[in-house]
């Protein structure tokens, strides 16, 4: 380092950065608070996001003092089972990165294989580029990213999309952040087959399954949002439902619960209607009882089409 530079460094270190004030004024605090309040459970995810936010905040402070210049790698991978909140967290992450000034617009473009990979030769590149252009200045969320790579079919066009993605992830680090999501085991295989991705993705965040208690809590908040309540019998039935549903095929955590509640609302409406439709008060209209939950097929061993498979025919 020559004399000029060290003088610069000395001059710049004389300035101060108040991290706590920065934390509040940048709006990061607000996003993290929202994350805490709106998302139930997911403690390790929240911890990782808090750490990432701290890192970025410090990095930004360092940059404002001229200690660093290059953009950190921000591409992420979210692994976890379906319905564990990956998309929701990605949306929050886009907000967070926008507040911190790492993406200019802060929108989230959510895509799957179909949006990136074409059906015939020469179709894939324009399609992928189209999506990338839309995602510029924001976050590109690739759901079920492992589908991009199909090793059993060497003529698959997914490889072309992967190459374009890798190139943009490297060259346009200032312009967009890519988040890839999918099941943990399949994503591992995907990254092993495409080492380029592993090295370009800095943050791997693992989403755990929700516990039964957390799912009940989630159900409660979903219902509260729509002004429904569960009576005592229904709460017990829901608890049974959750523990049974977990062991049946196609369990998708919070998404399964949302679907179950939608069906319970359907049965409740039907019940009220068939009971004669006499004068009903708000309580009757918004209470879900045990009778609305117990008829679920989950209590009789799941969907008919799934049963023979489960018995191992």
Partner 1 sequence: MRITQGCFSFLPDLTDDQITAQVEYMLSRDWAVGIEFTDDPHPRNTYWEMFGHPMFDLKDAKGVMMELEECRKAHGESYIRLVGFDATRGFETVMMSFIVNRPPEEPRLHMQRTDVAGRSQTYAWDAR
- The nearest distance, CB 180 to partner 1, in angstroms, is 20
Rule CB under 8 A: is residue 91 a binding residue for partner 1? no
Q: Is 133 in the site for partner 1 (CB under 8 A)?
A: yes
Q: What is the 3-state secondary structure (H, E, C) of the chain?
A: CCHHHHHHHHHHHCCCCCHHHHHHHCCHHHHHHHHHHHCCCCHHHHHHHHHHHHHHHHHHHHHHCCCCCCCCCCCEEEEECCCCCHHHHHHHHHHHHHHCCCCCCCCEEEECHHHHCCCCCCCHHHHHHHHHHHHCCCEEEECCHHHHCCCCCCCCCHHHHHHHHHHHHHHCCCCCEEEEEECHHHHHHHHHHCHHHHHHCCEEEEECCCCHHHHHHHHHHHHHHCCCEECHHHHHHHHHHHHHHHCCCCCCHHHHHHHHHHHHHHHHHHHHHHCCCCCCCHHHHHEECHHHHCCCHHHHCCCHHHHHHHHCC
Query: Measured from the CB atom, is 175 or 306 closer to partner 1?
Result: 175
- Answer yes or no whether residue 68 interacts with partner 1 by CB under 8 A: no
**By the rule CB under 8 A, 138 interacts with partner 1:** yes
CB of 96 to partner 1, least distance (A): 17
Smallest gap from residue 172 Cβ to partner 1 (A): 7
How many amino acids of this chain bind partner 1 (CB under 8 A)?
15
Residue 305's beta-bridge partner residues?
none
Binding to partner 1 by CB under 8 A, coded x per residue (else -) over 139-168, reads ------------------------------
- Give the one residue of 132, 169, 260, 264 binding partner 1; rule: CB under 8 A: 132
Binding of partner 1 by 130 (CB under 8 A): yes
Show contacts with partner 1 in window 174-213 (CB under 8 A).
175-176
Q: Does 105 bind partner 1 (CB under 8 A)?
A: yes
Under the binding rule (CB under 8 A), the answer on residue 87 touching partner 1 is no
**Which residue, 80, 123, 61, 299, is CA-closest to 210?**
80
Which residue number, 129 or 294, has a Cβ lying nearer to partner 1?
129
Q: Identify which of residues 126 and 301 has a Cβ nearer to partner 1 in the complex.
A: 126
User: Would you count residue 107 as binding partner 1 (CB under 8 A)?
Assistant: yes
Q: Does 118 help bind partner 1 (rule: CB under 8 A)?
A: no
User: Under the criterion CB under 8 A, does residue 172 sit at the interface with partner 1?
Assistant: yes
Q: Contact positions toward partner 1, by CB under 8 A?
A: 104-105, 107, 126, 129-130, 132-134, 136-138, 172, 175-176
């Amino acid at each position: 380092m020559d004399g000029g530079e060290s003088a610069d460094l000395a001059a710049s270190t004389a300035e101060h950065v108040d991290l706590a004030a920065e934390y509040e004024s940048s709006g990061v605090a607000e996003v993290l608070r929202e994350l805490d309040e709106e998302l139930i459970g997911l403690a390790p995810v929240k911890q990782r996001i808090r750490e990432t936010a701290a890192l970025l905040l410090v990095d930004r402070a360092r940059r404002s003092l001229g200690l660093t210049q290059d953009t950190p790698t921000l591409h992420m991978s979210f692994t976890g089972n379906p319905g564990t909140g990956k998309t929701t967290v990605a949306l929050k992450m886009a907000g967070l990165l926008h507040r911190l000034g790492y993406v200019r617009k802060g929108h989230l473009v959510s895509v799957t294989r179909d949006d990136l990979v074409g059906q015939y030769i020469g179709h894939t590149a324009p399609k992928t580029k189209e999506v990338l252009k839309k995602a510029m200045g924001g976050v590109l969320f690739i759901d079920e990213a492992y589908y991009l790579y199909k090793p059993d079919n060497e003529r698959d066009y997914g490889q072309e999309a992967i190459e374009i993605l890798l190139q943009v992830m490297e060259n346009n680090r200032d312009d967009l952040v890519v988040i890839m999501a999918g099941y943990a085991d399949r994503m591992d295989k995907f990254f092993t087959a495409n080492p380029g991705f592993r090295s370009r993705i800095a943050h791997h965040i693992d989403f755990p399954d929700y516990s039964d208690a957390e799912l009940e809590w989630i159900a409660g908040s979903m219902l509260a949002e729509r002004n429904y309540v569960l009576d005592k019998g229904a709460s017990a039935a829901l608890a049974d439902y959750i523990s049974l549903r977990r062991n049946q095929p196609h369990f998708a955590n919070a998404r399964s619960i949302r679907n179950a509640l939608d069906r319970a609302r359907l049965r409740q409406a039907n019940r009220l209607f068939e009971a004669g439709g006499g004068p009903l008060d708000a309580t009757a209209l918004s209470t879900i009882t045990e009778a609305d939950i117990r008829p679920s097929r989950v209590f009789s061993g799941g969907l008919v089409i799934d049963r023979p498979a489960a018995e191992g025919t």
